[in-house]
Amino acid sequence: MKLSYNWLSQYVDLKGISPTELAQSLTRSGHEVEGLNTLANASGLVIGEIIESDLIPETHLHKAQVRISNHDVKQIICGAPNCRSGLKVIVALPGAKLPIGEISAKSLHGLESYGMLCSLKELGVDLKLLNEAQINGIEELPQEAPVGETDVLAYLGLDDTILDVSLTANRSDCLSIWAMAREVAAIVGRKVTLPELQKHVEKPSSFQVVLKSEKAPYYLGKVIGHIKVGPSPKWLKEVLISSGINSINNVVDISNYVMLETGQPLHFYQLNKLKNHSIEVVDGRREKIKALDGMEFQLESEDIVIETNGTFAGIAGIMGGEESMIDDETVAIFMEAAHFSPVQIRHTSIRLNLVTEAASRFIKGIDPLAAQQAIQRATDLLVEWADGGEIEETVEVGHDGYTPIKIKESLTRLNQVLGTKFTMNQVTSVLERLNFAPLVQGDEVVCHIPSYRRDMELAADVQEEVIRLLGYDDLETTLPRMEANVGERNERQVAKRKTRETLISLGLQEIVTYTLQSKEESEKSLWPLGEAIVLSMPMSEARSHIRTSLMRSVLASAQYNIAHKNYPLAFYEISKVYAKGSEQERLAIFLEGNYQEDKLFGLEEKSDFYTLKGIIMSWLEKFGLPQERIEINENNRYDDHFHPYRSALVNLDGQFLGVFGEVHPKLQKEYSLKEALYAEIDLEVFYQAKIDRLHFKELDRYPSIDRDIALVVKKDVPAQKNGGYDPSIW
């Protein structure tokens, strides 16, 4: 996150705390600051006014007379196309230092030039924050800019220091300046002052909002009329630039500003472009749409869409539509603040390659109560800076899903876990600074967690908050207790090691895949061990369940490798699967493409059902398990995961060992595979099997004689029964 020191100072008194000291304090408290950057880097500047500008014949250059004080006029040669009389400009005098070098007086076309007229680009401002006119010409300052002002960067709001803060995944609340202000105030022990929300006279609203998608559980909307669209005030432009956002106009800038303040994304629609003054939040649309950036995107049925009377109005949580965007003709707007499914926003954003500030906040999680605050704050700013009026009541649909959280922790346990001797006063002081409203009950303290701290759920979280604010430096240094145990591999470890060696010798490579998967993947598992274990605080919805089968993870790995031109594939994985109350170790094998190939002689052996069967049988034979103990049967269990006629079940000593064969065509299509082969083996059954030890047998003294015998047997007889004489099979 880009954190502006100047903007932060408006909410927290940072006197006596330099940006460097603030960065150190943030890092010590768990918010790593990766760097300190300035918006611009220049010295020797002054604000001037062009009092005369003449084009030099046969050139693109202008000879400008620039007043830099009441009694001092400088002649400066300028090549910018917008150089004209009456313009207030940034002047770099001889000796000024810019990113491009030091400025000196020089002669151009026989004319002396005593300085340079500057653009923001030449001061080092990031190009993506500038419009085309600012990039191609000198910066045009407001007419009220004071001529002779030498602290130009301060006047422009470019004397700011930006802290590049690396936020952890569980602190999505810190994607707002209000949250960072609360955090900094708690860290440095100072008071935070946030803007007071105003009350306005509001009339009943006739605007209709209908939620037709379960992925949009909560929606707030508000109509504001008498809007005047124009340039943003200077302070607003400065804040947006410091946050890495380009200024558009006062209305659009207010929506971005409030998002940066509260962490709640907003979207403004032009009211007269919303048919019948109604909005529907839907999914299930498959069509091409045009977003407000002019780009076309193909919607899929799972995408959440905002529409008005059947017409596209926006990709929910990501970007609005071109038709309803704010423009210079806008006189009334409809504001949107909503909750959308983080999982779906993430999928849509990645698929469309459309990563926006709003999408990133929805994906990481937002304060469930921030929508109300954002709507009120935006209303205040629109009234003040866009002459907003005719305010309608807020339309509220759905539920915000907020449930207050209380956490109880004892001082004794906290000190035992942390190895500290903190007093109750020290602990409650920290909790009060964090707005946890602590209530002391003897040796225990009850914390009332604010809505924006979605990461707080357990007593361990309270312990972490206390120690990170009181300081890890206060922990006593102790040597770790180390015990060395000399041991050897048990039978299970030996078998696992030999399995790896065998499969590698057969041409397979080992992979390690994610143990966590999504709810959807978990529900579609092959041969699930049992009821899946759900994480209480998943990093993302895509990693919320502990897998009960290896298949989905292995197929996803195959899809990734094929997409990156790593082909053909032959790999295996040995890993545990888990369910409530149980765990099991399994072996997965995957093949696709040529199993063996010799490019020199043009020889190829394509992987098929029998290739996979041969690998499994070779592995079992390495452990002295004869074919008589292995039974291959028709796959009558998992025909939704495997090809019904190219798969089989494996039994060992009458116990179900696993399943193998060609992956079902529908599943192959889902993972962009072709003729993929897969096996999943229960290693627990394998480990428990009685493995015959190999015994030395004296070599025959005479040459052996081999004869091939063709037998005709009943078609339902398994191959493993043909090893000896059995009259019942004829």
Boundary residue ending a domain (334, 369, 398) = 398
Query: For residue range 130-152, what is the model confidence (pLDDT) as tens digits?
Result: 888 888 999 999 999 999 999 99
Same domain, 438 and 461: yes
Of the pLDDT bands very low, low, confident and very high (cuts 50, 70, 90), residue 661 is very high
Same domain, 335 and 243: yes
The conformation of residue 408, written as its DSSP 8-state character, comes to E
Q: Considering the domain boundaries, does residue 504 fall inside one?
A: yes
- pLDDT at residue 609 above 90? yes
Strand partners, 49: 67, 88
Same domain, 323 and 342: yes
Residue type, 451: S
Closest CA to 252 of 318, 325, 361, 197: 325
- Average pLDDT value over all residues in the chain: 91
> pLDDT value at position 711?
76
Query: For residue range 364-409, what is the model confidence (pLDDT) as tens digits?
Result: 999 999 999 999 999 999 999 999 988 999 999 999 989 999 999 9
Over residues 590-601, mean pLDDT: 79
Q: Is residue 31 within 8 Å of 125, Cβ to Cβ?
A: no
Same domain, 117 and 20: no
- pLDDT at residue 715 above 90? no
Over residues 14-39, mean pLDDT: 92
Q: Please list, in sequence order, all residues whose beta carbon lies within 8 angstroms of the beta carbon of residue 675, skipping any fewer than 6 positions away.
A: 592, 607, 608, 662, 668
Q: Considering the domain boundaries, does residue 201 fall inside one?
A: no
> pLDDT value at position 517?
94
Q: Considering the domain boundaries, does residue 720 fall inside one?
A: no
Closest CA to 397 of 338, 318, 317: 338
Tokens (6 digits) for 27: 């890092």
> pLDDT value at position 87?
94
**DSSP conformation letters of 672-690:** T-SS-EEEEEEHHHHHHS-
- pLDDT at residue 478 above 90? no
Same domain, 357 and 416: no
The rounded radius of gyration (Å) of the Cα atoms in the chain is 35
Where does residue 97 rank: exposed (0-12), middle (13-18), buried (19+ CB within 10 A)? middle
Cα–Cα distance, 576 to 514 (Å, whole number):
11
Of the pLDDT bands very low, low, confident and very high (cuts 50, 70, 90), residue 487 is confident
Q: Considering the domain boundaries, does residue 485 fall inside one?
A: no
Closest CA to 299 of 280, 314, 285: 285
| Least confident stretch, 195-199, 273-277, 301-305, 479-483 | 479-483
Same domain, 138 and 27: no
Cα–Cα distance, 261 to 239 (Å, whole number):
11
Determine whether the annotation assigns residue 144 to a binding site: no
Cα–Cα distance, 30 to 184 (Å, whole number):
12
Percent of the chain with pLDDT over 70: 96
Q: Considering the domain boundaries, does residue 586 fall inside one?
A: yes
Cα–Cα distance, 46 to 74 (Å, whole number):
12
Cα–Cα distance, 231 to 211 (Å, whole number):
35
Boundary residue ending a domain (419, 438, 470) = 470
CA 299 to chain centre: 21
- pLDDT at residue 719 above 70? no
* CATH code where residue 421 lies: 3.30.56.10
Peptide bond into 568 cis (omega under 30): yes
Structural domain for 412, as ranges? 405-470
> pLDDT value at position 726?
55
Phi, psi angle pair for 629, to nearest 5°: -90, -5
Over residues 488-514, mean pLDDT: 94
Determine whether the annotation assigns residue 465 to a binding site: yes
**DSSP conformation letters of 113-175:** E-SEEE-TGGGT--GGGS-HHHHHS---B-TTPPTT---HHHHHT---EEEEEE--TT-GGGG
- pLDDT at residue 725 above 60? no
Tokens (6 digits) for 154: 């301060």
* CATH code where residue 673 lies: 3.30.930.10
Same domain, 588 and 609: yes
Of the pLDDT bands very low, low, confident and very high (cuts 50, 70, 90), residue 293 is confident
Of the pLDDT bands very low, low, confident and very high (cuts 50, 70, 90), residue 683 is very high
- pLDDT at residue 696 above 70? no
Cα–Cα distance, 216 to 195 (Å, whole number):
29
Determine whether the annotation assigns residue 461 to a binding site: yes
For 11, 238, 676, 682, the CA distances from 232, given in Å and listed in that order, are: 21, 10, 58, 66
Query: For residue range 67-108, what is the model confidence (pLDDT) as tens digits?
Result: 999 889 999 999 999 999 999 999 999 999 999 899 999 998
Flag whether the pTM goes above 0.85.
Answer: no
> pLDDT value at position 598?
64
Determine whether the annotation assigns residue 706 to a binding site: no
Q: Considering the domain boundaries, does residue 99 fall inside one?
A: yes
Q: Considering the domain boundaries, does residue 194 fall inside one?
A: no
Closest CA to 17 of 235, 216, 203, 188: 188
Please state the domain count of the chain.
5
Number of residues assigned to the chain: 730
Same domain, 183 and 213: no
> pLDDT value at position 619?
95
> pLDDT value at position 720?
60
Same domain, 221 and 182: no
Same domain, 507 and 648: yes
Query: For residue range 195-244, what is the model confidence (pLDDT) as tens digits?
Result: 999 999 999 999 999 999 999 999 999 999 999 999 999 999 999 988 98
Q: Considering the domain boundaries, does residue 328 fall inside one?
A: yes
* CATH code where residue 297 lies: 3.50.40.10
Same domain, 294 and 308: yes
Of the pLDDT bands very low, low, confident and very high (cuts 50, 70, 90), residue 727 is low
Q: Is residue 35 within 8 Å of 166, Cβ to Cβ?
A: no
| Least confident stretch, 36-50, 425-439, 468-482, 640-654 | 468-482
> pLDDT value at position 291?
85
Per DSSP, helices labelled H in 333-410 are 342-352, 357-364, 370-385
Cα–Cα distance, 614 to 609 (Å, whole number):
9
Of the pLDDT bands very low, low, confident and very high (cuts 50, 70, 90), residue 636 is confident
> pLDDT value at position 689?
87
Cα–Cα distance, 272 to 276 (Å, whole number):
9
The residue ranking higher by pLDDT, 490 or 558, is 558
Same domain, 651 and 509: yes
Of the pLDDT bands very low, low, confident and very high (cuts 50, 70, 90), residue 604 is confident
Strand partners, 447: 407
